[in-house]
Chains A and B, each alone.
Chain A
Amino acid sequence: MSIWRYANPAEFMRITRPAVGPLWIASAVLIALALGWGLFLTPEAEYFGSTVKIIFVHVPSAMLAINTYLLMVVASAIGFVRRHHVSFLIAKAAAPIGACFTLIAIITGAVWGQPMWGAWWVWDARLTAILVMFFFYLGYIALWAAIEEPEKAADLTAVLCFVGVIFALLSRYAVVEVFGVKVVDFQTQHQGASLSVNPGQRVADVYRTPLYLSILAFYVLFFALLISRTRMEIRTRRARAISLARA
């Protein structure tokens, strides 16, 4: 059976209905456990002190900020090529979620940067790219709201989404090393990946399990939000179609 049947709004609503409640409950439990563990049960680091606890909210938020944008690009591309409304609505539903996670990443990064770097903000490649990506999120949301015709809004917002993808990639891949050679090297003060495969770069073992739990919790919350918001968008679109048919 083709996967494209899930692009049917009625089918999407039928399949996702049983998942909504359990996802909300799981996300509430996991977020409480992850933030409680990260805040109260992890030790202070030798150099970073208690600021190391900020990674349990900053890292998952930054991951979701970037990955949500990439999901929007993929959903928009599918919608653009195959004209599936649900794809466009998934992208539309994801935008406010991605914007909120980007805002959390920016704020928690700034709060960490002040005591560690001596500055709330520095204009380096990764930080600037994520700030521009945040403005793309806002522009995307505003464009959907500004255009009344859904087909036209879907196409134009998809184009805007494609343009902004470079900043999503740059915020993650400002520095790329292949076999010890830097193939992409923008100036950045930002740390390397907290979950790097290189033991010299990644976080200490004592922080890794709560960090994985925190990432899991944020992703479960993301899917609860995404499914709920997509269902809302489908209902709103259906209500609009009924209203127009009556008029």
Chain B
Amino acid sequence: MFTDQYTIYVISAYAATVVILAGLIWATITSNRKARHDLEVLEQERKR
């Protein structure tokens, strides 16, 4: 699979990609959840 001296570079590139994408996905999901919750609260308050 990896037999040369470049393994550390390859693993670093994949690790950086996964960390950045995981951060982006996490930020998207949490901010989406917060936006949905805030809007629901406001709409409920408006109905009352």
Interface set of A (CB-CB < 8 Å, partner B): 31, 35, 39-40, 44, 49-51, 53-54, 57-58, 61, 96-97, 100, 103-104, 107-108, 111-112, 114-115, 221, 225, 228-229, 231-232, 235-236, 238-239, 242-243, 246
Contact = CB atoms under 8 A, between A and B. Distances in A.
5 contacts: A31-B21, A232-B36, A239-B35, A239-B39, A246-B46
| Interface residues of chain A: helix, strand, loop or mixed (majority) | helix
Interface of B: 1-7, 9-10, 12-14, 16-18, 20-21, 23-25, 27-29, 31-32, 35-36, 38-39, 42-43, 46
Nearest to B3: A44
A246 B14 CA distance: 49
A238 B42 CA distance: 10
Contacts, number: 95
B10 to A, nearest CB: 5
B9 A51 contact: yes
B9 A228 contact: no
Given A221-B21, A243-B42, A112 B28 contact: no
Given A50-B4, A50-B7, A239-B35, A58 B13 contact: yes
